[in-house]
Every structure is written in C-alpha cells, then in structure tokens.
Chain A
Amino acid sequence: MIRDITIGQYYDADSVIHRLDPRVKLAFTLIYIVSLFVGHGPICYAYAAAFLAVVIVLSKVPVKFMVKGLRGMLMILIISALFNVFLVQGEVIFRWWIFTISKEGVRTAILMVVRLIFLVIGSSVMTLTTTPNDLTDGMERSLRFLKVIRVPVHEIAMMMSIALRFIPILIEEVNKIMKAQIARGADFESGGLIKKAKAMIPLLIPLFVSAFRRASDLALAMEARCYHGGDGRTKLHPLKYQAADYAAYAALLLYLGGMITMAVLLP
C-alpha cells in the first residue's frame, strides 16, 4: 500500500547507534566529513575506514543497505576518477594518442574515489539509523543558535515535519487523480517529451489545488490547537543527552584528534 512507504531510508533495528541522540549523529556526520578532508594518504584513510567499520557493525544495519547509497553516485565516481586520472600532470606512466596517465593522477583519483565513498557511506549511517522525525528534531535543536541571526529554525523544522506527514498523502492523491483522468481518456504514457509534459497538466493542476486546500485546512487546524510559533512550546519527547551520548561525543573527538595528529605527523 502506498501509504506505508517510508520517507528517507530509515532501517529499523535496535542498536546503540539507533538509540543515540540525533544531535550526536549529526555531529558524527559533520566530524567524519571534516576528518576525511583533514586526512591524506593511505594510513589516514585506513584509519577512517576502521572507524566507519566499527560504527557500521554497532549499528546492526546490513552492509548492503550502506552500499545502496553508492549506486546513485556511480556516475559521479567514475567521472571524477577519469578526470583525475587523465588531467593531473606528473610522472607519465602510460601514453596513447592524446591520452596520458601520470602516477600522481592515479594516486589522486584513488584518494578522491575513496574519499567520496566514505563520505556517502558516512552520511548513510545517519539517515539509516535515525527516523526523519528525529532528524528534524535534532536539526531544530542543534541549529537553534542560528535564531540569533534571524534564521527561522523552528518554522523550518515544523515545515519539514509537516512535509513528512503529507508526502505519502499527496503521493496517494497523485495516484487517484491519475486514475480519474485515465477514466476520462487521458494518456500519460505515449507521445514525445512535449506531449507527455502537456499530459501532466490535468494531473498537476488538481494536485496543486488539493495541496493548497490541505495547507489552508491544516493552518486553521493548527491555529485551533493554539499554535502560535515556537515560543513557549514544550515537547512530549524533548531531546535529552544520556551517558551513551556523552561517550559517543568523546569517541568522536578522540577519532578526530587521532586523524589530525596523523595528518600532521605523516608526510
């Protein structure tokens, strides 16, 4: 059933990583990305790989789900590898017609690809182990300081959680409208690009009309339930750090410290 679809790619399991505060996982993603740019050379990347491996094992998420995110990135990986291989100048090891491959090129290409792979898997850890709602909560809390410079953090978070609630409903709506128009002889499949785009009008207009109607209904319902912005709002499940969260922060800092030390000491 279409209403059962999950937004994002949350993998339901009961693990240490799943139970961590979403803010910790946001910090993990950030720190891990930073560490990838700080580090250079095979030893640093082996270190990063080991750390990631530990996290993945702890998360109980099957590796195949982690790797899934890479599939979409495949083209980008190949292109960036090719660019590096052919365009970086240096000691030539292979030459054919106008193509030259240098030792430095191969080296940068490998590092680049490894870095990207780690980056994608590293951020998958967060999205796979945190529900979109927790993620929204975590972002709202972590980014609260931005309110000082007038970023409407609460409003953005509220919008995100409403979007999460309504996306499945709107997908179902698309389905319904599509069927209704097919029953009136509409054709969404045949024809060229322009004809297909034109065929979308009977689908898109009712969809927008419905989305606006829902939005105005919802706004009224929120007002009736005393919504008046984020000020003075309490939470049913406020985010609260547990011992494990502090431990995780400590581990993250140790990891980053280790990476910086290596980057400085190694040539």
Chain B
Amino acid sequence: MNIIEILHLIHEYKEYDENETETETVRAIDDVTLSIEEGSFVTILGHNGSGKSTLAKHVNALLLPTGGTVMLCGQDTLKTEELWTLRKNAGMVFQNPDNQIIASVVEEDVAFGPENLGVPTEKLEKRVEQALERVGMTAFRMNSPNRLSGGQKQRIAIAGMLAMKPKCILMDEPTAMLDPVGRREVIQTVHELNKQEGITILLITHYMEEAVDADRVIVMDGGRLIMDGTPKEVFSRVEELKACHMTVPQVTELAYELKKEGLDLPDGILTTEEFAEALWNLH
C-alpha cells in the first residue's frame, strides 16, 4: 500500500525586490510524481536548492501545492481543512536540533505533540515513556535539553514524533549539524524504527553513506526527480551523480575508477566487503 502519493506536484513561489514588486516566479518543484510504499526506507539526495526539502514539506502540508496533488494516508493536503489532523500521520525532524525543542524539560517536549492532539493525560504518560525508551533516552527524561549533545537532541526530537504515533517520519537533513558520533546515533535509531515498528522513513541527506542502507534512493536536481531506484542502481551512475554535484561513497567511486581502467568489476559496489570480494574474484 502506498502511504504517500504525489501526482504532478508543482510548487512555485514569487520573489520580490526592495519595492515589494514581483521580480520573478521560482519553480522549486517541477512536475514531480512519486509514490512511497508503507514501511519503506527512502533516502532523498540532492544538492542545496534541488527542491528536496520543499518536497518533504509538502508531504505533511507545511507547504501546499501550486499545482498537482499530494496525498498522505489517503488524505488530500489541499482538501483537508484542519491540517493538524493530517500532520499527526507524518512527523518531521528538522536540521537544527536546538530550534525544534519547545519545552525546557525533555519529557515535556516529547509530550508536546500528543498534547496538541488532545491525548488524555493518563495515556500521555505512557506514550512519553515508550517514545523515550524507543530512542534510548529514558535516563534523560527530567533533564534540560540544553545540556544534551546534538545527537541526543535529535533523538529527543524523534521521540517527540514517535509520541504522536505517526505512520511516517520525514527527516529534513537531521544529521547535517552533527558530528560523526551523533550522526551514527541518529541513523541507527531511524533504521531500528523502520525495521521494528514498520514506520515509513523519508530521509533527506547530503551524506551518501546514509543512503547505502535505504530500500530506495531518489535523487533530485532542479526541482525534478532525476533518479529513482535501489542504492545499487543509483550509485552505479557515478558520472550522472557527479554532473549534479553529488558524490558517491569512496569505495563506490574507487570501483568505478578501476572499472574505467579496464577491471571488470560489477556496478554499484556499496560496501568494503563487497569490493574486496569482487576484486578477489577478479584476481
């Protein structure tokens, strides 16, 4: 079943100069059609300004289409009056960990979403507890978010989404401001959620390594979808990726370079082990 259905989505915004007169219309999303299967882990890649973040914001109706339709769990974002009833299905984690934590105590922040949904107090307690346990932050329940590391803050933000019991979580570059340890923490957590709870994950990132374990990788450029496939399929197209300012994991690039030199390696090698194995077979 498809949890997200996007049909011929177009998003435009107008730019104004100092005198408030319209200068140009920018098309951030240009005719995108896409469906996401429930329970899948999808990574969206693309350089800054490729429209990937704008696309994600359409899924939970933070932005509304200029043209086309976006359906989340069968609900049309343009035809829904109270958008919050739709947003509870798709939590969103943002880039800056500090700017998405609302309360001064961890547990109260996690409760913020379900509080808005009107979940009764008796059940709130339980939801907060479970969500914190899910991300491994139970010990920090009564702490102030200010004293947590970046990775821990992002896990709190994820717990805040889980407490709303969403079907899908959108992650808008959640690791861009973290150090490698924090990045690992966050990516591991979302993979667990995907596998164990069956929550659909839409991960937007710059880091190719984070795309390797996804079920599906989508590459955007200039507001369009330019590639869509398994990580193996997408990362076989090294030249094309480079043409739109993307990199591939180092081992993939090495295999690609060797292939160019005449070594008969398979396409789209993603891991060190795979590479060593393939090279040994050639030897």
- Would A233 and B87 count as touching, CB distance under 8 A? no
A228 to chain B, nearest CB (A): 5
Nearest residue (CB) in A for B111 is: A236
- Would A217 and B100 count as touching, CB distance under 8 A? yes
**B194 on the interface (CB 8 Å rule)?**
no
- Would A236 and B84 count as touching, CB distance under 8 A? no
**A223 on the interface (CB 8 Å rule)?**
yes
**Counting chain A CB atoms within 10 Å of each CB, which of B84, B92, B145 scores highest?**
B84
- Would A234 and B102 count as touching, CB distance under 8 A? no
Q: Given A161-B104, A236-B108, A236-B121, does the pair A221, B116 have CB atoms closer than 8 Å?
A: no
List residues of chain A with CB under 8 Å of any chain B CB: 3-4, 133, 161-162, 164-165, 168-169, 213-214, 217-218, 220-228, 232-238
Q: Which of B72-94 contact A (CB under 8 A)?
A: 82-84, 87-88, 91-92, 94
List residues of chain B with CB under 8 Å of any chain A CB: 60, 62, 82-84, 87-88, 91-92, 94, 96, 98-105, 107-108, 111-121, 124-125, 128, 145-147, 160-161, 164
A164 to chain B, nearest CB (A): 6
Nearest residue (CB) in B for A210 is: B99
The 10 closest A-B pairs by CB, nearest first: A217-B99, A221-B100, A236-B111, A226-B84, A224-B92, A225-B113, A226-B116, A3-B146, A232-B118, A228-B84
A213 contacts which chain B residues (CB < 8 A)?
99
Nearest residue (CB) in A for B145 is: A165
Nearest residue (CB) in B for A136 is: B104
Please measure, in the bound complex, the distance between the C-alpha atom of A209 and the C-alpha atom of B115, giving whole angstroms. Answer: 31
- Would B104 and A218 count as touching, CB distance under 8 A? no
Nearest residue (CB) in A for B117 is: A226
- Would A228 and B82 count as touching, CB distance under 8 A? yes
Please measure, in the bound complex, the distance between the C-alpha atom of A236 and the C-alpha atom of B94, giving whole angstroms. Answer: 24
- Would A225 and B62 count as touching, CB distance under 8 A? no
Nearest residue (CB) in B for A4 is: B147
- Would A225 and B160 count as touching, CB distance under 8 A? yes
**Cβ-neighbour of A220 out of B62, B82, B145 (below 8 A):** B62
- Would A227 and B96 count as touching, CB distance under 8 A? no
**Cβ-neighbour of A234 out of B98, B104, B121 (below 8 A):** B121
A142 to chain B, nearest CB (A): 19
B225 to chain A, nearest CB (A): 23
- Would A234 and B118 count as touching, CB distance under 8 A? yes
- Would B91 and A236 count as touching, CB distance under 8 A? no
B145 contacts which chain A residues (CB < 8 A)?
165
Given A162-B102, A221-B99, A232-B118, 9 more pairs with CB closer than 8 A: A133-B103, A133-B104, A221-B92, A224-B62, A233-B118, A234-B124, A235-B111, A236-B108, A236-B125
